[in-house]
Structure 1
Amino acid sequence: MNRLRDKVAIVTGASPNIGGTLAAGLAAEGARVLCTDLSKDVAEAAAARIRDRGGYALALAGDVTDPAHADEAVAMAVDAWGGIDVLVNNAVFFQQQGVLDMPYDDYRRQLEVILGGSFLFTRAVARSMIERGREGSIINVLSTAAWQGQPGNVGYSTGKSGLINFTRSVAMELARHGIRVNGFTPTATAPTDPEARRAMEDLLARPSTYRNDFAAQLPLGRLPTPDDYVGAVVFLASDESAMVTGTNITVDAGATAKYWPWTPHPEA
């Protein structure tokens, strides 16, 4: 498969769940991928996964809210492969709390990672693309929580919804340089990685005021896995989407399209 042959991509937040799977999916289509994460072990595991399958990948650990980290990632990709064609802003900080109980510093930190990290990496990558005359694709990972009101998850929902108009604004600004900027909306995801699955199970097991019945609400009857997201992101990264910018592709098993009182699988 060569839909991304000779393209260079940076993926932030390359965890074994969504980010690492997207990185591997881009590499499987021929891209050379720089995997970044706050954890050195996570970044290196994502890159090793790609190299084990015959692809090209590098790893870099750092905090997406640090401008120097964004610049370092760009420099590493340019030094190794000559430039950058694709950026996937996926780094996120999970902390499910509501407005009544979330400490302000934690709320601010969540926004800094989701919005600030996307700003810094988008700026650094776009500057590199423009300097080298490379038209490219920037993909911001959103969430169904960006489009709907989720109680008890105010920082995440606010950050992800902010990315919607960040995407539109930056898409308009960078259009004259041939750089496309789009959103990609996943939903609650069934992890395939054992560690990620345990983390989700722990999260769902925590006491909560707000009941979320995912299985009963999804029209297609199951949570997507990270692999279900790869096709949409590859499309946005590829030249096949040359006329697509400032918009969003949703892969959510029908969740956001569903009429709100309908329960498609009441016995689930």
Structure 2
Amino acid sequence: MNRLADKVAIVTGASPNIGGTLAMGLAAEGARVLCTDLSPSVAEDCAAKIVAQGGEAIAIAGDVTDPAHADEAAAAAVDCWGKIDLLVNNAVFFQQQGVLTMPYEDFRRQLDVILGGSFLFTRAVARTMIETGTAGSIVNVLSTAAWQGQPGNIGYSTGKSGLVNFTRSVAMELAEYGIRVNGFTPTATAPSDPIALAQTQKLLNRPTQYQMDFTGQIPLSRLPTPEDYVGTVVFLCSDEASMITGTNITVDGGATAKYWPWTPHPA
């Protein structure tokens, strides 16, 4: 399919889990994709997979909290393809700790990656879109933890909730240029990539005083996979969503809509 034909995209945090799957999904719809990640091998692997499937992609490694990296990525996309149409702010730093145990420096680092990285890439890409007269689309990857209080995960929950109003504010500021900015809310995810699956299982099963029954609480009986998210992000990036800005689409199997005392799948 070619819903994103001739569009140029940047995806931050292109790991095999959500970010890499979204990058490949955009490419499958015709977008040319610049894949970024802190790890050079991760960024290069994502780009190589896209090329192997017949798409166009390049990789740029760097830290999303570095303004020079954001500017470099935007410049590389323009040098290669002449413009930027799409940005997916997905880069994240996982460190599950609570307010009583998390070192302040780690809290600041987590916010810097989630919020600061989104700020820097949004600014760099929006400036380029304005310079080239491109009415583009920016999608910020949120989380169900942005909308609910999760104990023992203070940095992540705070950063993701901050992205909610970051999305609204930037959408209003960039509306005059025809640039749309929206949020996309995934939830706990069952990756299809074996490496990412092992990492996620380790994360979900780590010892904690706060027991989380993800699969037992989701109304649609299973956790979503990264592939379940692709259609929503493609839609938000496509011309079909040309009048959608400043809002959010949730793909969580009904988790945030569920009335709190109901247990859909009791053990």
Q: What TM-score do the two structures reach when normalised by structure 1?
A: 0.99
Paired residue for 2:228? Answer: 228
Deviations 1:89-129 (A, max 9, x none): 00000000000000000000000000000000000000000
Are residues 1:258 and 2:258 paired? yes
Matched residue, 2:177: 177
Aligned equivalents of 1:188 and 1:49: distance in 2? 24
1:11, 1:129 → 2: CA distance?
15
Cα separation, 2, equivalents of 1:88 and 1:216: 30
Q: Structure 1, residues 50-87: CA drift from partner, whole Å, max 9, x if none?
A: 00000000001000000000000001000000000000
SS in 1 for 2:2: coil
For residues 108-166 of structure 1, what are the alpha-carbon distances to aligned partners after superposition, in whole Å with 9 as ceiling and x for unaligned?
00000000000000000000000010000000000000000000000000000000000
Q: Distance in 2 between matches of 1:114 and 1:14?
A: 14
- 1:108: which partner in 2? 108
**Which stretch of structure 1 is more off in the superposition, 197-206 or 245-254?**
197-206
Which amino acid letter does the alignment assign opposite residue 211 of structure 1? Answer: Q
| 2:10 counterpart letter in structure 1 | I
Matched with 2:46 is 46
Q: Which amino acid aligns with 2:98?
A: G
Structure 1 runs of 4+ with >6 Å offset: none
SS of the residue corresponding to residue 68 of structure 1 reads helix
Distance in 1 separating the partners of 2:33 and 2:192: 21
Match of 2:134 in 1: 134
Distance in structure 2 (CA, Å) of the matches to 1:13 and 1:204:
20
What amino acid maps onto 2:245 in structure 1?
T
Please give the secondary structure, in 2, of the residue aligned with 1:59: strand
Aligned amino acid, residue 53 of structure 1: Q
* Deviation for aligned residue 1:204: 2.4
Bigger drift between 194-203 and 151-160 goes to 194-203
- CA distance in 1 between counterparts of 2:201 and 2:224 reads 16
2:160 matches 1:166: no
Tell me how far 1:200 sits from its aligned partner: 1.2
Percent identical residues: 79
For residues 27 and 241 of structure 2, the distance between their equivalents in structure 1, rounded to whole angstroms, comes to 18
The alpha-carbon deviation at position 205 of structure 1 amounts to 2.8
Q: Which deviates more, 198-207 or 26-35?
A: 198-207
Matches for 1:63-212 after TM superposition, within 5 Å? 63-212=63-212
Match of 2:20, SS state, is helix
Unaligned runs of 5+ in 2: none
Q: Distance in 2 between matches of 1:201 and 1:122?
A: 31
- Deviation per residue, 1:5-31 (Å, 9 max, x gap): 000000000000000000000000000
Distance across 2 between alignment mates of 1:154 and 1:27: 34
SS in 2 for 1:5: coil
Work out the CA distance in 2 between the residues paired with 1:58 and 1:38: 15
**Matches of 2:8 and 2:203, distance apart in 1:** 34
- The Cα of 1:201 is off from its aligned counterpart by 1.8
- SS of the residue corresponding to residue 110 of structure 1 reads helix
5+ residue gaps, structure 1: none
3-state DSSP of counterpart to 1:249: strand
Aligned partner of 1:112: which letter? D
SS of structure 1 residue aligned to 2:182: strand
Deviation string 1:230-256 (CA, Å, 9 cap, x unpaired) is 000000000000000000000000000
The letter for the 2-side match of 1:17 is N
Cα RMSD for the two superposed structures = 0.5
CA distance in 2, matches of 1:218, 1:201: 17
**2:103 alignment partner AA:** P
